[in-house]
Amino acid sequence: MGATASVFAERMVLIQGTYLQTNRIYKAGSIKRTTNFAEIGVNITSFVGKNIGLYSSATFLKPYKITQKINGTDNGTTMEDYDALTMGIDALLGIGFLASVTPGLSILAAGGVHFNGVAFTSSDYLVDPFLKYNLGPGVAVNGLFNITKSLNINISAMGAWDFLEFLTMPETETTDTVSGGITWAISAGLGVKL
């Protein structure tokens, strides 16, 4: 009982502004199509534990730019057609490790399962809804600069390999091979220890 209490003795919540990029790669024979999404949003990260514990992170995003390259050449794709709803969700759930570097600086690192999804709809009935949902392994590192015992300023970086695309709309051509993609993000904000 005492060991459990010491492991799960603290809870930390970080609220951050986030810039995120994610891409999707599809191949059909010699053709490689890479679609990249740039997004901004708000991240909420939680850590429950002492030196080791449960790490969870959720980011709610607004995609503002889409580019697409065919064999490395930009084909002029933009987001102008998707005006009704553009939204992104990103999440990381896993094990976190909290280490004190100096009295004023701590590092919170984590690894686990990463989810990334983008969703676009349009007021133009000729434009199909667009959904891409992926899973894969991800890691995050947070630098916590302690202002007081319970308040910190933090910066973080996250990276993930989204190798499993489990929802795609519109459906890709049957000749396409889904090659996953890379997601990365940088964030900064405030944190509190509860």
CA-to-CA dists, residue 54 to 8, 95, 151, angstroms:
9, 5, 20
Cα separation, 67 vs 51, in Å, equals 41
Q: Using one digit for the tens of pLDDT, what is the confidence trace for 108-154? A: 999 999 999 998 887 777 667 778 889 999 999 999 999 998 999 99
The answer to whether the beta carbons of residues 57 and 96 sit under 8 Å apart is no
DSSP per residue, 33-45? EEEEEEEEEEEEE
- The string of pLDDT tens digits covering residues 165-194 is 877 776 665 667 777 789 999 999 999 998
Report how far residue 48's alpha carbon sits from residue 33's, in angstroms, rounded to the nearest whole number: 40
d(CA 22, CA 116): 8
